[in-house]
């Protein structure tokens, strides 16, 4: 009876998770790369991911290092048959792991901020070093064709400006009337 119940539950679990991918609507998913978040939010999220994501690995290495340092041997924290660590040892391991993870996250944040500031500083210096001149539009001579005088070029520009100022009729391609450009 117990085996029947376990097999029934396992079959129900398998079939409850199996068809979810088949009926998912791919067009309704949100691509978070398209959403413009401020840079500080992206930096904070990256720091959070690194801090909490490194916690299991840092805790494992902290247990190894702490047991080797404190007792001279590796003590298995999952072994319930022996007293591997006292409660004080466990709190020390948690404190060391949390501090190390926080230090990793803040170090990554600092490196990213310094790197971004250096890049922006280099770009700013490059922009400052590039000379530029501002010429009023009245002083710019009109572009001339090969066999054209300055007066003819000025008249041609006036005609082009008049043609550009008139509204142009809209032409739609069939089936694209509702497209957003």
Contact assessment for residue 101 and residue 58, using Cβ atoms and an 8 Å cutoff: yes
pLDDT, one tens digit for every residue, the chain (181 residues) = 666 666 766 776 676 666 555 555 555 566 666 678 889 999 999 999 999 999 999 999 999 999 999 888 888 777 777 677 888 988 999 999 999 999 999 999 999 999 999 999 998 888 887 776 777 766 666 666 667 777 787 787 788 777 777 665 555 555 555 555 5
Q: What is the pLDDT of residue 16?
A: 63
**Distance, CA of 18 to CA of 71 (rounded, Å):** 48
Tokens 């007066």 belong to: 151
Q: CB 142: neighbour CB atoms within 10 A?
A: 15
- Evaluated on CA atoms 84, 89, 94, 98, the torsion sign reads negative
**Distance, CA of 159 to CA of 144 (rounded, Å):** 14
């Amino acid at each position: 009876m117990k085996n029947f119940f376990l097999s029934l539950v396992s079959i129900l679990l398998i079939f409850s998770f199996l068809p979810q991918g088949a009926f998912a609507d791919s067009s309704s998913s949100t691509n978070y790369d398209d959403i413009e978040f401020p840079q500080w939010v992206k930096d904070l999220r990256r720091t959070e991911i690194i801090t909490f994501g490194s916690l299991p690995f840092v805790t494992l290495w902290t247990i190894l290092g702490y047991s080797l340092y404190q007792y001279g041997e590796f003590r298995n924290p999952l072994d319930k048959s022996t007293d591997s660590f006292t409660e004080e040892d466990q709190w020390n391991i948690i404190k060391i792991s949390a501090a190390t993870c926080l230090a990793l996250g803040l170090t990554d944040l600092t490196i990213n901020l310094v790197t971004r500031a250096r890049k922006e500083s280099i770009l700013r210096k490059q922009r400052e070093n590039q000379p530029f001149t501002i010429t009023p539009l009245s002083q710019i001579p009109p572009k001339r064709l090969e066999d054209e005088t300055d007066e003819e070029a000025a008249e041609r520009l006036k005609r082009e400006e008049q043609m550009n100022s008139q509204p142009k009729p809209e032409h739609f391609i069939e089936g694209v009337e509702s497209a957003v450009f």
